[in-house]
Amino acid sequence: MDVVSFGESLVVFNPDTPGPLRQVNGFRKSLGGAESNVLIALARLGHKVGWFSKLGDDEFGRYILNSIRAEGVDTSQVKMLRQESTGLLFKENYQSANPNVIYYRKNSAASTLSVDDINEDYLKQAKILHFTGITPALSSSACEAVFKAVEIAKTNGVLVSFDPNLRLKLWSLDEARSTILELAHYADIIMPGIDEAELLLGIKDVEAIADYFTAQGSKIVAIKLGSEGCYLRQESESRYVPGFKVEKVIDTVGAGDGFAAGLLAGILRKESLEESGKYANGIGAMATLAQGDSDGYPYFEQLLEFMGRKQRIER
């Protein structure tokens, strides 16, 4: 197994029209969830990946399970619960280029994740454990599960990949800062966005941010700079990798997860630091070309075409 991840996936309702939700009458259903997004993107690139979580034993839970499994992600460790429901997310396209999100995930099935849900044998056969700062925000038991999973990974030589994914609708900044920075000590690969790094650390200079996480023990630091690309640091090597120009952005949600998948794909393929950054920027950019969290993620041939590495035959 190349990458294993865990966390909450949700049913996302995308409005048919812009405006406040009280005036929207139609929605398009899709799949969302940072961790499953990363795994779907990696599976499309040809990597072997697995996801574990909890879902409500309801129609929305079955929709999520079937959708993730259909993408080639192993879901053998997912548990379906009859007493808890599957989480929901509504997008609102109003007042901003980025959609506002409204969660209905309190007391969801995934919020009951605990250390008892971790199969140590399943986790330790992976090359990389990827997790985000969303999962520890779900509940105290889910937070304990994150620390346990990281402990198992470190003990068994599994690389630990961490996307802080700061979500202030789930917990306060003080709570988030304390837990995320503690978890950062264990991350071999860390990939904060520039804005969340500033909130967490109180600094905005990318080199200073990279210095901080390198001092904590991270081997690779990837700082997401949005449309400008990213700043990467690995040991003594550091570089800016410019982003790809997107003429018309459709939906930015899922771009950061696509970035994470591209970076991990480059690492798994033993590409150079710069090439891994190009993969990351490319998938992040392609994610914005389609509505839906994972709809725009490419297969490897499509990524090469987008990056200009392979000629696209249209007719």
Report the range of poorest mean pLDDT among 64-73, 237-246, 250-259.
250-259
Q: What is the pLDDT of residue 310?
A: 67
In this prediction, residues 168-180 reach a mean pLDDT of: 94
Given pLDDT bands bounded at 50, 70 and 90, which one contains residue 171? very high
| Nearest residue to 90 (alpha-carbon basis) of 13, 167, 189 | 13
Q: What is the pLDDT of residue 308?
A: 84
Q: pTM higher than 0.85 for the full model?
A: yes
Report the range of poorest mean pLDDT among 88-92, 142-146, 263-267.
88-92
Which residue did the predictor score with more confidence, 246 or 207?
207
Rg (CA), the chain: 18
| Nearest residue to 167 (alpha-carbon basis) of 262, 101, 90 | 101
Q: What is the pLDDT of residue 97?
A: 66
Asked if pLDDT for residue 251 goes beyond 90, the answer is: no
Residues 185-238: tens digit of each pLDDT: 999 999 999 999 999 999 989 999 999 999 999 999 999 998 899 999 998 899
Q: What is the pLDDT of residue 272?
A: 94
Asked if pLDDT for residue 138 goes beyond 90, the answer is: yes
Residues 38-47: tens digit of each pLDDT: 999 999 999 9
Asked if pLDDT for residue 312 goes beyond 70, the answer is: no
Give the integer Cα–Cα distance in Å for 121 and 216. 28
Angle between helices 273-287 and 255-268 (to 10 degrees): 150
Angstrom distances, CA of residue 29 to CA of 130, 218, 279, 285: 26, 38, 28, 22
Q: In sequence order, what are the beta bridge partners of 172?
A: none
Q: What is the pLDDT of residue 249?
A: 83
Q: Say whether 163 is catalytic.
A: no
Q: Which domains, ranges and CATH numbers included, belong to the chain?
A: 3-306 (3.40.1190.20)
Q: Tell me, what amino acid is at 8?
A: E
Q: Residues with Cβ < 8 Å from 50, sequence gap 6 or more?
A: 1, 3, 4, 5, 39, 73, 74, 75, 76, 77, 122, 126
Give the integer Cα–Cα distance in Å for 77 and 119. 8
Q: In sequence order, what are the beta bridge partners of 189?
A: 161, 220
Give the integer Cα–Cα distance in Å for 148 and 162. 14
Residues 15-37: tens digit of each pLDDT: 999 999 999 999 999 999 999 99
Which string of b and e fits 140-157 if b means at least 16 CB within 10 Å? eebbbbbebbbebbeeee
Asked if pLDDT for residue 313 goes beyond 80, the answer is: no
Q: Which of 74, 257, 293, 295 is catalytic?
A: 257
Tokens of 58: 């309801």
Mean model confidence pLDDT for the chain: 93
Q: What is the pLDDT of residue 271?
A: 95
Q: What is the pLDDT of residue 314?
A: 61
Q: Tell me, what amino acid is at 216?
A: Q
In this prediction, residues 114-140 reach a mean pLDDT of: 96
Angstrom distances, CA of residue 132 to CA of 82, 94, 147, 160, 176: 26, 27, 12, 11, 12
| Nearest residue to 187 (alpha-carbon basis) of 179, 175, 195, 198 | 179
In this prediction, residues 302-307 reach a mean pLDDT of: 92
Which letter does DSSP use for residue 262 in this model?
H
Q: What is the pLDDT of residue 315?
A: 59
Asked if pLDDT for residue 14 goes beyond 70, the answer is: yes
Given pLDDT bands bounded at 50, 70 and 90, which one contains residue 248? confident
Report the range of poorest mean pLDDT among 20-34, 109-123, 199-213, 239-253.
239-253
Asked if pLDDT for residue 137 goes beyond 80, the answer is: yes
| Torsion 130-135-140-145 (CA) sign | negative
